């Protein structure tokens, strides 16, 4: 499938399920103490690196953006789906959200203190993942932390029905932590920590913490 093809299908799918998606994931962090701990550690790393704007890329309904804001971080969300951004703005009026694609981030070089992609790389095809990670490096300043959440595995599946039973057409890519860590290093990051876990967030979840090299 072409770049524009899968991107359009992903946007349409999440536009369709936006309200039901928000309802389903709204309270997930209340049931995921390990994820909350990693997000708190991420905030400490942001502060120790000097603070500044943090982008939640692929923010969906904005729950992670809002959580980071509640921890005192200058966080803003970016998402491909205009309907998701509408929901995020409605549910979290004190936070900033904008429509955009992680494949072409409209951000200046080294303009971010840090970046988080919380289970949002899962729809990026393998052949487009490296350019996306290099785009992350471009917009994060040297030494800035990056946090990735993802589903662990080797398979790719087509999701045709989702939140609220609505039709979707998105490919879900599961990836091995070592493979994703290697791709991060190749893109110009130093990987500092990785973990796998099972929680309400994912039956096989992975988290990677890295920093942009100079």
The rounded percent of the chain whose pLDDT value lies above 70 is 100
pLDDT score, position 1? 63
Domain-by-domain residue ranges, the chain?
3-212
What is the rounded CA–CA span in Å between residue 44 and residue 105? 25
pLDDT tens for 3-39 read 778 999 999 999 999 999 999 999 999 999 999 999 9
- What pLDDT does 4 receive? 78
Q: By three-state DSSP, how is residue 32 classified?
A: coil
Using 50, 70 and 90 to split pLDDT, how confident is the model at 162?
confident
Provide the b/e sequence for 138-152 (b: ≥16 CB within 10 Å): bbbbebbbbbbbbbb
Q: Judge whether residue 190 has pLDDT over 90.
A: yes
Q: What is the pLDDT of residues 45-87, one digit of tens each?
A: 999 999 999 999 999 999 999 999 999 999 999 999 999 999 9
- Tell me how far apart the alpha carbons of residues 183 and 10 are, in angstroms, rounded to a whole number: 23
Using CB atoms within 10 A of its CB, is residue 214 exposed (0-12), middle (13-18) or buried (19+)? Answer: exposed
DSSP string, 129-184: HHHHHHHHHHHBPTT-EEEEEEEBSS-EEEEEE-GGG-EEEEEEE-B-HHHHHHHH
Q: Is the pTM of this model over 0.75?
A: yes
pLDDT of residue 181: 98
Q: Pick one of 3.40.50.150, 2.40.30.10, 3.40.50.300, 3.30.1330.10 as the CATH number of 3-212.
A: 3.40.50.150
């Amino acid at each position: 499938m072409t770049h524009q093809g899968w991107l359009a299908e992903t946007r349409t799918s999440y536009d369709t399920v936006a309200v039901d998606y928000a309802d389903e994931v709204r309270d997930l962090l209340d049931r995921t103490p390990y994820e909350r701990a990693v997000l708190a550690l991420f905030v400490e790393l942001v502060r120790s690196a000097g603070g500044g704007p943090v982008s939640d890329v692929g923010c969906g309904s904005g729950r992670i953006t809002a959580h980071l804001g509640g921890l005192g971080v200058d966080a803003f969300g970016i998402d491909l789906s205009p309907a998701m951004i509408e929901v995020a703005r409605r549910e979290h009026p004190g936070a900033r959200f904008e429509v955009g694609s992680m494949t072409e981030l409209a951000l200046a070089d080294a303009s971010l203190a840090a970046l988080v992609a919380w289970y949002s790389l899962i729809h990026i095809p393998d052949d487009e993942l490296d350019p996306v990670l290099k785009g992350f490096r471009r917009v994060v300043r040297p030494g800035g932390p990056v946090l990735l959440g993802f589903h662990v595995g080797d398979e790719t599946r087509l999701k045709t029905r989702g939140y609220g039973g609505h039709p979707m057409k998105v490919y879900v890519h599961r990836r091995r932590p070592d493979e994703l860590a290697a791709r991060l290093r190749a893109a110009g990051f130093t990987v500092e920590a990785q973990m796998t876990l099972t929680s309400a967030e994912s039956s096989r979840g992975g988290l990677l913490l890295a920093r942009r090299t100079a």
